[in-house]
A and B are shown apart, each in its own frame.
Chain A
Amino acid sequence: MADDKDVLRDVWFGRIPTCFTLNPDEVTEREAEPYYLLLPRVSYLPLVTDKVKKHFLKVMRTEDVEEIWFEHEGTPLKWHYPIGVLFDFHASNTVLPWSITVHFKNFPDVDLLHCPSNSVVEAHFMSSIKEADALKHKSQVVNDMQKKDHKQLWMGLQNDKFDQFWAMNRKLMEYPTEEGGFRYIPFRIYQTTSDRPFIQKLFRPVSTEGNPHTLFDLLKEMCPDALTKDGEEKRFQVVIHGIEPLLETPLQWLSEHLSHPDNFLHICIIPTPTD
C-alpha cells in the first residue's frame, strides 16, 4: 500500500460477517431463520440492524416485542461501543461468522443503555467527537465547525460515506506542525481483566524530550501488565481494528489513522488464545 489514505479506507471499510439468531426463548409464531449480514466495524449496532429487526419482527407478535438488544455468548453487547470494538473484545478468536443472539425481552438495564432511537446514537457519537477534540485541540476545531459540518460527520457515518465523512473529519485530524501532534491522544483501553469498562487518561503524543510516544509508551503507563516481559510468554494481544500493530508504532500516527469515527483510538487488550 503506497498511501496512508489506503489505511483510512481499509479501516473504514472493515466488515464483520455476522450471523444473527433469535433468542430461542422468544415467543415466535414460526421458526426464525438466522440472518446474515456484513456489519461495518466502525459503525454502531443500532445503525446497521434495521434489517435484522425487520427480519425477526416478521415472526413475532407485536405484543411480545420490547426493546431490541444483542448478546454474544451470554454477554450483552453495548450498542454505544463501535461494532469492531465489540467484536475484537468479545469474539476476536472465535469462528466467523460472528454469532449474535437477538433479544426482544428482558432488557438488561444493568448492562446496557436504552436506545430508543438513532438520535440517541447521534448524540452519543457527537459527544464522543467533541470529547476527543477537547483532548486534541481544546475543542477549537469542533467548535469552529458549523451545525451542518457536524451533520456531515454523522451522515457520513450513518450512510457509510467515506468521502463525506473524511472531507470533514480531516479537519479534526490536523495539528500545528510545531507541536508534533495533538495536545492529548484520545484513547480508550478495554481490558478483560478489569472491572472498569475502560481506561481513559491524559496522554501526550510527544514526550517532554520531544520524542514521539509509541503504543508501547502508552501501554507501559496505562496498563503495564498487558506488556510481555522478557522471557515471558505473550499473555495478551493488543488489538486495534482487528489487527495487532507493532508496539513501536507512533501513537500520533495511530490516532490519526486507526481511530474510530468518534475520533477515539479504541484499544482492546485480550488474552492470547491458548490454542
Chain B
Amino acid sequence: MPASLLWAVDVHGRIYSLSSAGQQWELWRDAPMEFKRVTAAQQCCWSLGCDNGIYLNVFASDVPVRYREETYENQRWNPVDGFSERLLPSDRWQWSDVTGLQHQPLHGFQLPSSSWEWEGDWYVDENFEGEPTEKEGWTYSIDFPSTYTKDKKWNSCVRRRRWIRYRRYKAMDTWAKIPSQPMSLPDPFSDISCGGWEVTEEPRGRLSLWAVSLQGKVWFREGICHHNPEGSSWEEVPLPGEVVQISCGPGDLVWAVLWEGKLIVREGITRDCPKGLSWALVEGPSPEVGASHVSVGSSVVWAVTKDNKVWFRRGVNSHNPCGSGWISMVGEMITISVGLHDQVWAVGCEDRAVYFRQGVTFSELSGKTWRAISAPRDGERSHSSASSHQSAGRYFSGEVQAQSVVSDADSDVEKGSGDGATFTSPEPFLGSSSDPPCNPAGDAPKARIPKVTSDSFISELVSDRDQAKPSKDVRVTAAVLEEEVLPIEGEESLLCTGEALPSAESRGGPGSQWSNVDLEEAQNQQIQTGAVLDSAETCSLSSVTTFTLAGEDSYGAEEPPMWAWVSGGGCSVDSSSQLNWFSSSANTTSLTQSVQSMSLSVSPAQTAAWRRQICEQLSERSRREMDDFKHYEQAIEQSVWVKKGAMQWWRDWKPHKWIDVQFAFEQFSGPDGNKDGILFIYYNYYEEKKYLHAFINEVTILVPVLNDSKHTFAIYTDERTKQRWPIRVAAATELEMYDWLALLSVSCCESRGIRGPPSKQAIWSITCKGDVFVSEPCPALEAVPYPTPCDQMFWRQVGGHLRMVECGAGIVWGVGYDHTAWVYTGGYGGGCFQGLASSTDNIYTQTDVKSVYIYENQRWNPVSGYTSRGLPTDRYMWSNASGLRECTKTSTRPPSPQWTWVSDWAVDYSVSGGTDREGWQYAADFPATFHGYKTMKDFVRRRRWARKCKLTTTGPWQEVPPIPLSDVTVLPCAAASGTIPLWAISNKGDVLCRLGVTALTPAGSSWLHVGTDQPFKSISIGAAGQVWAIARDGSAFHRGSVSPQNPAGDCWYHIPSPAKQKLKQVSVGRTSICSVDENGNLWYRQGVTPSYPQGSSWDHISNNVRKVSVGPLDQIWIIADKVQGSQSLSCGTVCHRLGVQPIEPQGQQWDYGIGGGWDHITVRGNATEPPRITLFSQKDSAPPTSHSPPPGGDAELNGLMEAAGRDAQPSTTQRL
C-alpha cells in the first residue's frame, strides 16, 4: 500500500499532513494563508481558506497532468487550386472539431486558468488509427462528413488533418486558488467535501466536490477529472433547508447537516448523475440535541451531535443511503472524518487531539477503540533544541534578561518568540522588517466567522477559550509569570509588528522556522490541552493580561497540538496497516493485530556495533573451542529424522479423487554433509498397502495450490513435469500445509546446496495465483546444441504476490495485481517461509488487491421483459464468465483463505464491448458476443459484478510509490555506466523512464515522463538502448536515440504491426526483438541492424504463446498455452526455444518446462554464457544435474487450465 496522507488543520489555521509511513506531522509552510477546512482525495487536496475561497493542491506526480487540445483543419479540392482552404458554403468550418460542428481556430484556444501552461506549439498528427500517414498528416474522403483514409484516391474531394497541442497543469504541490466565477457567487463558502471517485471511473480521476456557502446553500463543482483538476463550474443544488456542513464519501453517499440539527441524505447518485436527484430527511440521533457534524464513507455514516457525542449509523449502503438507526459510540469529539476503507479519524473534544478509530474492518465497521495520534509536528524538536535557542537569542538580543528569569529555558524562549515581541523592543524589528506591518491572515478566521454554527470550529474554539480560561489559568507558574507580564505592556501596540516579525525572519535562512506560522506553533506547544490559543487572535479578542496568562499556561514543550479539522479522504490505511503514529507507551492495552516473527524485528540492528561484536566473538569462539579439536568425537551422532502426517492425495489412477494417505518425510545427512531426504506416500490400493516415493533432491518445485476448500500443494519432479501430472497432496489445515511446504522447501534447497538469496542471474517466474518462483540457471542452460532440459530446472518460492516480475542487470522489479510497483530487496523467504527459510532482513509486508467477477444473466420474455427467469437450458442466472458454474453474490468466496473481501459487490462498467447505463450487455443468445446497447434482436443480457479482495503477505519486496504500473522493463545486460536503464508503463498508459537506478539503489529516485500521443501497454529495453513499446491500439513503436546521456531518447518511430494483428507484448534482448499479439502469435523482428534499429518485417515463430521474454544472450523463453501432458492439455507452461544461435536467432523448437498455471517468466537476468564459450566452465558445467531440477504444471493449478482449448496441438507445440 503506498504511503498516503492524512490531512489536518490546527486551531491556528495551519495545514499539516501526516504520512501513513511517517512519524510526524509535516507543516505546509508555503500555504498562502490560514485554512479552515481541508478535504482530501488520494490525488489532491481541497481546502477552504480563511478568505472563504477554495484552494486546490494537486499532488505532484512524475506523470504530469496533460490535456490534449485538438482541432481539425479541413480542406476541399477544386480544379483551380487543388486542395485549398476554400470550402463550399455548405461545408463545415475551415477549422473545426472532429464533428465539424464547432468552429475551433488555433488561436481560439486559451489556457483555462493561470495554473496551466502550454507544453509546446501546435503540430500536425501523423498517426491515423495506428498507421503512420504521409508527412503532412492529411486524411482523405469523398465528402464531409464521412470516413477518412490515409491514402489519396481519385475521388478524394476533401481532406482534413488533426492539429494537436498539449497543455500541462503546473500548480502541483502548491495551493492554487480556484478562480471565482464571473457570475460571482452570492456568498462565500463555509464548508467543502470531496469524494465520489468510486461512483465511476469515467472520466479518469473524476471527483465530486460539494461546497456549502455561508448562507447555507449547497453547490456542486462540475467537471472535475484527471485532466481538469480544477473542475469547470459551480452548480447550485436545491435544498429543503439551510445546510451548515456536508460530507461526501468515496462512493455514492452524501450527507449534510441542516442548521437545526437534522440531516439530509442525497439520493439518486449514479454514475450518470453524480450530483444526485433529491434529498431525503433523516432525524438526528437524539431528539433534544441536534447533529452538528456528519461524515460518510463508502458504507458508513458517523455523526457528532451538538453535545459532542459520537454516533454511528447502522445499515447504510448504496441501496439504502439513509441507513436504519443510530448507535451511540464512546468518546466525545468535535469533528469526524471517514476516509478510505471506511477508516475513521476524529478531533477530540477535550484535548483537540486527532484520534484514529482502531479495528475498523469490513465486517466490523464501527471499530473498537479510539486511539490518539501522538505523532509530533515537524519543527517541534528543533524548537526545543539548543540551536533554535541560540538563533532566537540572536534575534531577540534585548531579551536575555527576561529569559533568564524563566525557569524552563527552552520552552520559554519559544514562548518568548511565540508571544511576538513580548520580550523585545520593537524597533529592531520594525527596522529590519520590510513586510507590511500587519499580517491580516492571522486574525482573518475569527473576523469572518459568520455565525456560531456548530461546525464553525474555529469560532467555537474562541468561545471555548473564553470560558476555559478562568479555571485553567490558575496555575503555579504564576510567580514566574509575574515577571513576564511587564514587558507585555508593549505588546498591545506591537501586536502587528510582532506578527510581521516572523516573516522577516523567515527570510533569514536558519531562523526560518520562525515563520509566521511557526511562531504560533512554538507557543502552541506550551499550551495545555484545552487551555489554549494563539497570540494574534487572543490579543485582539481579550485583554493582554488574560492572554498572557493563557500563553504562560505552560507545561513544557511536549504538549500536544490543538487540531480543528481532519480529513482522511486520501489516507489509505486499514486495520492491518502498521502505523508509526502512536507512542508505544500509550498502547499497551491495545489489541495486537499482528504477530511479527523474530526475523522482522531486528532489521535496524543489522549494522549496530553490538551485533557485529557478537558475530565476531562467536566466530572467535568457534576458532578457540573447536578448530583444534575437530578430531574429537561428536557427542551426538546424526541420525535420520522422520516427520509424518495424515494427508490426502489426488490419486494417480482413474477415477481421480482425494484419498487419505500417510505422508512421511525422512531426512538424513548425506556423506558430503548435505542433507537429503525421501518423501513417502503410503496408500491403499484395493486393500493392498502401497507407497509412492520421491527423493528430495529430485523434486523440482513445490507449488502451493490454495483454494477455498482444500489446502493443497503440488510436488513435481522432472518426470512429472514432463507428464504435467504432479503429486498433489492436501493438508488438513492451512497451517499444516505451510509447515510442510516450508520444511520441504528448506530440505529441497539444502539437498541442492542452495542457500541465501537468488543470484543476479536468476530466472523469475510467476503463477496465475501470483506466487513468485525463482530458479538458478545452470551454465549449460543455454548451451547449443545440448542445453540442460528445462524440466530439470529447480524452482524455489519467494514470498510476495505479484502479477509480473522483470529482472536485468542485477535488479528485480515486480508489479502487483493492484498495479503497485515493487522492487526486490535482496532477501529471500517471507510469506509462509519463515524462520530458517527466510532472511532476517529485507522482508516487508506486501499487500495486493484484485477483483472477483461474477455475472448476472437475464433473458427477455414478452410478458415481463428482462427477468432473471431463464430457459431451462440457459446458464445459471448468476454465474462465472463461462456460465458453467453458479456464482451468486452470497456463495462466491474470495479465491483462497489468504484473501479477504474489502468491498461490496458493485456493477462493473469497464467490460470490453461496453455496457448500457445499468451495466448491461446484450446479445441474441448465450453464449455470444455481447455489446453495450440493446437492439431488436437481443434476447439475453448480462452484467458483470465485481468485488475487491485483498491479500496481505510478506516478502523481499519494497514498494515504489506512488505511480501504479502495468509494465516494467530493465536493461537485460550489465549497464555500461553505473545507472541501469529502467522503463515502465503506468496503469494509465504513460511511458516512464526511471532515473537513478543503480545496483545499490535498485528503486531509483524518480520517474521521467516520456511523452506519447496515445496510451501504451507494453515496453522493453534491450542492449544498446533499444527501447520498444506497444501502444494500446496494438501497434509497435521504437524509441530513437536512447543512450546513457539521453536516457529518455528523443522520439517514437511507429512500427506497423503484423498484418491484421494487434500486438500486446514485446521483449528485446541483445539483438533479438520478439513480440506477442492478441491471438497468441509470437513474432520475430527481422532486419534489425545498428544503423537501422527499426528492422524491416515481422517473422512468425509460433502460436499459442501468451508471453515472451528475450534474454541478454538473445535466448527466447515463453509462456505457452495448450501443451500436451499425460492427462490433459496444460495452459501456461514455461518453454525454452532451442537452437537459438547468431545465425539462427529464431531457433528451432521448444523445450517444455514447468507449467500448468504459469503466467509470467523473465530470463533477462541470465547472462551466463554456455560452457563452450566460458573458459572455466568445465568445472561449472559438471554439476548441472545436481543443480537444475524443476517443475511441471498440471491441469489444475487454477481454473485456468480448464479453459484450455480442445483443439489439436499446433505444430509448434510438438514435443522434443
Contact = CB atoms under 8 A, between A and B. Distances in A.
Interface stretch (B218-226, B412-420, B593-601, B1029-1037): B593-601
Interface stretch (B336-344, B617-625, B974-982, B1163-1171): B617-625
B4 interface: no
Contacts of A208: 585
A38 B594 contact: no
Contacts of B756: 2
Contact of A37 (B598, B632, B840): B632
B583 A210 contact: yes
Contacts of B585: 208-210
B610 A249 contact: yes
A103 B683 CA distance: 52
Interface stretch (A12-20, A110-118, A190-198): A12-20
A250 B751 CA distance: 36
Main secondary structure of the interface of B (DSSP, over half): helix
Interface string A157-185: 01111011011001001111111100000
Given A170-B598, A179-B592, A253-B605, A160 B636 contact: yes
B618 A7 contact: yes
A249 B584 contact: no
A210 B629 CA distance: 45
B273 interface: no
Given A17-B626, A97-B629, A249-B614, A177 B594 contact: yes
Contact of B641 (A2, A164, A253): A164
B943 to A, nearest CB: 43
A179 B835 contact: no
Interface in B328-368: none
B638 interface: yes
A243 B616 CA distance: 9
Nearest to A159: B639
B629 A256 contact: no
B178 interface: no
A179 B596 CA distance: 10
Contacts of B605: 250, 253
A38 B637 CA distance: 11
A3 B746 contact: no
Given A166-B835, A167-B836, A17 B594 contact: no
Interface in B1105-1132: none
Given A36-B632, A40-B636, A160-B636, A245 B615 contact: no
B629 A179 contact: no
Interface stretch (A21-29, A43-51, A61-69): A43-51
Nearest to B625: A16
Contact of B625 (A17, A166, A180, A249): A17
B281 interface: no
B636 A7 contact: no
B839 interface: yes
B834 interface: yes
Contacts of B841: 3
B534 to A, nearest CB: 30
B183 interface: no
B604 to A, nearest CB: 10
B609 interface: yes
B844 to A, nearest CB: 13
Interface in B208-234: none
Most-contacted residue by chain A among B620, B634, B639 (CB, 10 A): B634
Given A14-B625, A38-B626, A159-B636, A174 B610 contact: no
A38 B621 contact: no
A153 to B, nearest CB: 14
B590 A178 contact: yes
B82 to A, nearest CB: 76
A176 B609 CA distance: 26
Nearest to B829: A5
B596 A175 contact: yes
B633 interface: yes
B584 A210 contact: yes
A163 B599 CA distance: 15
A17 B629 contact: yes
A77 to B, nearest CB: 15
Given A14-B625, A51-B635, A243 B834 contact: no
A31 B38 CA distance: 92
B602 A4 contact: yes
A225 interface: no
A167 B743 CA distance: 8
B613 A43 contact: no
A271 interface: no
Contact of B592 (A37, A177, A209, A241): A177
A256 B601 contact: yes
A244 B617 contact: yes
Given A10-B622, A159-B636, A243-B620, A170 B584 contact: no
B633 A36 contact: yes
B587 interface: yes
Nearest to B839: A3
B629 A178 contact: no
B1089 interface: no
A244 to B, nearest CB: 7
A176 B595 contact: yes
B588 interface: yes
A39 B632 CA distance: 10
B578 interface: yes
A131 B622 CA distance: 30
A197 to B, nearest CB: 25
B628 interface: yes
A14 B635 CA distance: 12
A250 B610 CA distance: 9
Interface string A118-137: 00000000000000000000
Nearest to A243: B617
B629 A38 contact: yes
B621 A242 contact: yes
B701 to A, nearest CB: 21
A39 B613 contact: no
A101 interface: no
Interface string B831-853: 00011100111000000000000
A131 to B, nearest CB: 20
Contacts of B743: 163, 167
A150 to B, nearest CB: 15
Contacts of A243: 614, 617-618, 620-621
Given A167-B835, A250-B605, A177 B596 contact: yes
Contact of A246 (B598, B610, B622): B610
A128 to B, nearest CB: 19
Contacts of A174: 595-598
B601 A15 contact: no
Given A3-B839, A36-B632, A170 B597 contact: yes
A3 B583 CA distance: 29
Nearest to A255: B598
Contacts of A15: 625-626, 629, 634
A234 to B, nearest CB: 16
A245 B617 contact: yes
B632 A180 contact: no
Given A14-B621, A176-B592, A6 B584 contact: no
A248 B610 contact: yes
B445 to A, nearest CB: 36
B584 A166 contact: no
Interface in A232-275: 241-246, 248-250, 252-253, 256-258
A161 B617 contact: no
Contact of B584 (A97, A163, A180, A242): A180
Nearest to A3: B840
Given A176-B594, A248-B609, 6 more contacts: A36-B633, A37-B633, A37-B634, A38-B633, A160-B638, A249-B610
11 contacts: A10-B619, A38-B629, A40-B636, A48-B635, A158-B636, A167-B835, A170-B836, A173-B597, A243-B618, A246-B613, A253-B602
10 A-B pairs closest in CB distance = A176-B592, A17-B629, A48-B635, A243-B617, A249-B610, A210-B584, A170-B835, A246-B610, A177-B596, A160-B636
